[in-house]
Homo-oligomer: A and B are copies of this chain.
Amino acid sequence: MSTGVWLMGARGSVAVTAVTGALAVRAGLAGTTGCVTELPPLRDAGLPALSELVFGGHDIAPTPLVKKAEALADAGVVPASLVRALHDELADADREIRPLPSARTQAETADLIAADIEAFRERHHLTRLVVVNVATTETAPPPHPAHADPGMLEAALGGDEAVLPPSSLAAYAAFLAGCAFVDFTPSTGARLPALDRLAARHGVPYAGHDGKTGETLIKSVLAPMFAVRNLRVRTWSGTNLLGGGDGASLAEPGPNAAKTASKQRVLAETLGYVPQGDTRIDYLEDAGDFKTAWDLVTFEGFLGRQMRMDFTWHGCDSALAAPLVLDLARLATAAQDAGRTGALHELAFFFKDPLGRVPHGLADQWTMLCDFVAGLGERG
Interface residues of A (CB under 8 A from B): 17, 20-21, 24, 30, 32-36, 38-39, 76-80, 82, 217-218, 220-222, 224-225, 227-232, 234-235, 237, 239, 241, 276-278, 280, 282, 284-287, 292, 294, 296, 298, 300-305, 307-316, 319-320, 322-323, 349, 361-364, 366
Contacts and interface: CB of A to CB of B under 8 A. Distances in A.
A239 B294 contact: yes
A305 B314 CA distance: 12
A20 B303 contact: yes
B282 A323 contact: no
Given A33-B300, A363-B361, A230 B39 contact: yes
Nearest to A289: B305
A255 to B, nearest CB: 18
A285 B294 contact: no
A112 to B, nearest CB: 33
A237 B241 contact: yes
Contacts of A232: 33
A82 to B, nearest CB: 7
Q: How many identical subunits does the complex contain?
A: 4
Contacts of A305: 76-78, 316, 319
Given A218-B309, A221-B225, 9 more contacts: A17-B303, A36-B229, A78-B303, A224-B362, A277-B282, A287-B298, A302-B322, A311-B312, A361-B363
A218 B219 CA distance: 12
Given A228-B366, A282-B280, A304 B39 contact: no
A319 B292 contact: no
Chain A interface secondary structure, helix, strand, loop or mixed? Answer: mixed
A281 to B, nearest CB: 11
What are the 3 A-B residue pairs with the smallest beta carbon separation, nearest first?
A363-B363, A34-B302, A311-B311
Q: Which of A280, A301, A303 has the most CB atoms of chain B within a 10 A radius of its CB?
A: A303
Given A38-B230, A225-B221, A319 B301 contact: yes
